[in-house]
Amino acid sequence: MENLAENRTAYTDLEPATDIPNENHYYLNMGPQHPSTHGVLRVLLEMDGEYVVDPQPVLGYGHRMQEKMAEHKNWMAFMPNTGRMDYAAALPYNHGYVALFERLCGIEVPARAEYIRVITSELNRIVSHHLWIGAMLLDMGAFTPILYTFDDREQVLDILEDVTGSRLTYCYFRVGGVCKDIDDKFVEKTRAFIKRQRERFDIYNKLVTGNIIFIKRTEGVGVISPDMARRYGVTGPVLRGSGIAYDVRKNEPYSVYPNFDFEIPVGRNGDSYDRYMVRLLEIEQSLRIIEQALDQLPEGSFLGKAPKKMKMPTGDCSFSVEAARGELTYYLVSGGGDIPYRLKIRVPSYSNLSVLPELCQGMLLSDLVAAMGSMDLVIPEIDR
Amino acid sequence: MNNRGYFGELWFGAKSLLIGLNVTIKELFRPIVTVQYPREECEITPNYRGHVELVFNTETGGCDCIVCGMCAKACPSDCLVVKGEKKEGEKRKSLTLFSLDFTKCSLCGSCVETCPKGALDYSQDYNIAGFTREEFHYDLIERLERRHQQPLAAAAGGN
């Protein structure tokens, strides 16, 4: 029993039980059940009054051993799990996983399937940014914008539900294509959504972008310098907010992204406001991609020939996609057969979170919420 | 944005708040977008993927399942149990048990896609709530019979 007790202290040694270095400092647990962490993230804060001295994220509350599960299942059986890591934008996760096997086994994908993948993935990215804008403002105390963004989000979810059959945790892509074709109704509804969304930007700008309270709470808060972003391996809109134009869709193009004309929005100061602007501009860029993809949409089959029982060749393979939160990489080591030997998933939120202790030192507690909110963390993705 | 001066800031701030309020006030005169869910039902797309359900074959008066067990094998979470027995004078097995443990199902659709006979389909059921786990252990044969209010034809899936 004593041994057991000793082992337990090893797990909880992050908890400062007795020796508080400065007697004026105190510790505050933000989470694991906290509305602004959007999941079971716990941040242990060493506080000096209202100021944060040392924030330390504590992970593992929602750990489900996704990578281990992949080592025990046939490759197709892991497919539904990919949609459950980043539930706010599941389709890029689907995309990375199937593309990994297509690269490993050299499977051809029909052009139509690639276009459908890009269109649905971009719609999913928009959905994710809608959710983020609403949720971040909710963290900062503004309740109204989430009602507007969710109204828009609902439009996209209806479109995606019609083709994928689910609203959140998609399992839509298959090795060699997608499992259901899109029809004219989908195209029509998506075009109507693009038109509607472009009109809604005006409302976003009036409600949020130009709002004095929002500007005061985010401008100059949580400044990530390009150097700091590089050191921590920050990706996605957080990286682009710091002024580094890195986007997997441009820098390491996959699928049919080279066929489209789009820009990578970047910020100037690397503060929370810039990260907000980058995401808002990304919605517009995603709309542009969807518009072009719908115009170019080729006819043909939506599901290529993929062997039912797929045997993987021995070796390793990796595939990166641009998920809504940044670069997502699947790395697979195969020892032959149909069960991976090892599947490593490099998720964007994990590296984005790692910047938190350095970023939020000396901040006000309320600013920490704004800075952490602007990272767009999805906890099940970190604790996968 | 910080070079406006004290009064410039006040003016800018007050203006931005009024612009925001203008947006929300207009909403009073727009149609309501929310649905009062339990009292009003949302219209659901026919492509919605609910839990799986056996398909009723109107010609044979039964289901097309041939008890091959492909669906149970394809299921990532082992939520399907398919059993059949060979009755006398029949060439093939007939279905005796088809159960779905919906608590484990992740709605991936592997079973529906692998079924060689197209005997499975997604249900449109989304109003699902219960107090016990056992309420989600579905007996799909019984559900099929209940839907069509008749026992399945004896030679289910025989052809």
- Of the candidates A96, A142, A140, which has an alpha carbon nearest to the alpha carbon of residue A248? A96
Q: Which residue would you say has higher pLDDT here, B91 or A170?
A: A170
Say yes or no to pLDDT of A335 above 60.
Answer: yes
Comparing CA positions, the residue from A118, A93, A153, A49 lying closest to residue A365 is A49
CA of B111: which chain A residue's CA is closest? Answer: A77
pLDDT of A6 over the 80 cut: no
Mean pLDDT of A141-155: 88
Q: Is the dihedral of CA B152, B153, B158, B159 positive or negative?
A: negative
Dig out the tokens for B33 from the structure.
Answer: 């977008």
Q: Name, in order, each residue with C-beta under 8 angstroms of B127's C-beta and a sequence gap of 6 or more.
A: none
CA distance A354 to A155: 34
In one letter, which amino acid is A9?
T
Could you tell me the pTM of the whole model?
A: 0.85
Separation of alpha carbons A304 and A113, rounded Å:
8
Indicate the pLDDT class of residue A125, thresholds 50, 70 and 90.
very high
**Is the separation of the CB atoms in A171 and A260 below 8 Å?**
no
A34 vs B52, more confident: B52
Q: Which of B33, B49, B76 sits opposite A166 (nearest CB)?
A: B49
Rounded distance between C-alpha atoms, residue B88 and residue A148, angstroms? 65
Q: Provide ipTM, 2 decimals.
A: 0.80
Element (H, E) at A186: helix A184-204
- DSSP sequence for A269-319: S-SHHHHHHHHHHHHHHHHHHHHHHHHH---S-SB----SSPPPPSEEEEE
- In chain A, the percentage of residues whose pLDDT exceeds 90 is 13
Any CB–CB contact under 8 A between A335 and chain B? no
If we measure between CA atoms, which residue out of B52, B40, B62, B152 comes closest to residue B109? B52
CB contact under 8 A, A80 and B108: yes
For the ranges A13-17, B103-107, B144-148, the lowest mean pLDDT is seen at A13-17
How many beta-carbon contacts under 8 Å exist across A and B? 72
Residue A87 tokens read as 């539930």
A179–B113: do the CB atoms touch at under 8 Å?
yes
d(CA A75, CA A97): 9
Is residue A214 within 8 A of residue A206, CB to CB? The reply is no
CA distance A282 to B98: 47
pLDDT > 70: percent of chain A: 93
d(CA A374, CA A135): 10
Interval A184-211: pLDDT, tens = 888 999 999 999 999 888 888 888 888 8
3-state secondary structure of A224: coil
Chain B contacts in chain A segment 139-178 (CB below 8 A): 144, 151, 154, 158, 161-166, 169, 171
Interchain pair A179, B22: CB under 8 A? no
CB-side neighbour CA atoms (13 Å) of A288: 13
Model confidence at A8, pLDDT cuts 50, 70, 90, reads very low
CB hemisphere CA count around A169 (13 angstroms): 15
DSSP conformation letters of A46-111: EEETTEEEEEEEE--TT---HHHHHTSS-GGGGHHHHTTTSTTS-HHHHHHHHHHHHHHHT----H
Query: Which of B9, B48, B106 is facing A165, going by the closest CB pair?
Result: B48
In terms of Cβ atoms closer than 10 Å to its own Cβ (0-12, 13-18, 19+), residue A12 is exposed
- State the nearest Cα–Cα gap between A210 and chain B, in angstroms: 6
Cα–Cα distances (Å) from A164 to B29, B53, B108, in that order, read 34, 18, 10
Neighbours of B73 (CB within 10 A): 15
Closest CA to B123 of B136, B133, B14, B134: B136
Which SS3 state, helix, strand or coil, does residue B28 take? helix
| Nearest to A341, CA basis, from A100, A68, A103 | A68
Structure tokens belonging to residue B58: 């109107």
The residue type found at B120 is L
User: Span B52-155: which CATH code?
Assistant: 3.30.70.3270
B72 → chain A, closest CA residue: A77
Predicted local confidence at residue A122, as pLDDT: 92
Round to whole Å and give the CA distance between A237 and A244.
Answer: 10
Mean predicted confidence (pLDDT) in B43-59:
82
- Domain range summary for chain A, segments of one domain joined by +: 72-346
Interface test with A, best of B23, B26, B73, B125 (most A CBs within 10 A): B23
Element (H, E) at B120: strand B120-122
Distance from CA of A240 to the nearest CA of B (A): 21
Q: Which chain B residues are within 8 Å of A308, Cβ to Cβ?
A: 114
Note whether A199 contacts B: Cβ–Cβ < 8 A.
no
Separation in Å, CA of B90 to nearest CA in chain A: 30
- The pLDDT assigned to B152 comes to 63
Answer for the pair A31, A372: CB distance below 8 angstroms, yes or no: no
E strand intervals along A141-246 = 173-174, 177-178
Name the strand (E) or helix (H) holding A43: strand A42-48
Q: What is the three-class DSSP state of A375?
A: coil
| Domain A72-346: CATH architecture, name and number where available | Orthogonal Bundle (1.10)
Beta bridge partners of A57: A43
Is A73 an interface residue toward B (CB < 8 Å)? Answer: yes
- Residue B106 to residue A212, Cβ atoms within 8 A: no
Instruction: Give the mean model confidence (pLDDT) for residues A106-120.
Output: 88
Query: Is pLDDT of B155 > 50?
Result: no
Chain A interface mutation, best of B106, B113, B124, highest count of A Cβ atoms under 10 Å: B106
Q: How many residues does chain B have?
A: 159
Cβ pair B109:A212 closer than 8 A: no
Residues of A in contact with B17 (CB under 8 A): 211-213
Adjacent-strand bridge partners of A55: A45
- State the smallest CA–CA distance between residue A203 and chain B in angstroms: 7
Residue B156 pLDDT: 46
* CB-CB under 8 Å, B48 with A77: no
Q: Kindly report the average pLDDT of chain B as a whole number.
A: 81
User: Does B116 contact chain A (CB < 8 Å)?
Assistant: no
Residues B45, A212: C-beta atoms closer than 8 Å: no
B60 touches chain A (CB under 8 A): no
Best of B49, B52, B75 to substitute, by most chain A Cβ atoms within 10 angstroms, is: B49
- How many Å is the Cα radius of gyration of chain A? 22
Q: Do A210 and B16 touch (CB under 8 A)?
A: yes
Give me the residues paired with residue A321 across strands: A328
Within B28-114, where are the H helices? Answer: 70-74, 110-114
Domain ranges of chain B: 52-155
Is pLDDT at A340 greater than 50 in this prediction? yes
Identity at A142, one-letter amino acid code: A
Q: How far is B8 from chain A (nearest CA, A)?
A: 12
pLDDT value at A308 more than 70? no
Pairwise CA distance, residues A195 & A189, whole Å:
10
Band of pLDDT at residue A175, cut at 50, 70 and 90: confident
Three-class DSSP category at A139: helix
Q: Please say if the pLDDT value at position B159 is more than 50.
A: no
Per-residue confidence (pLDDT) for residue A289, from 0 to 100 = 92
> Measured between beta carbons, which residues in chain A are less than 8 angstroms from residue B49?
164-166
CA-nearest of A3, A303, A315, A21 to A176 is A303
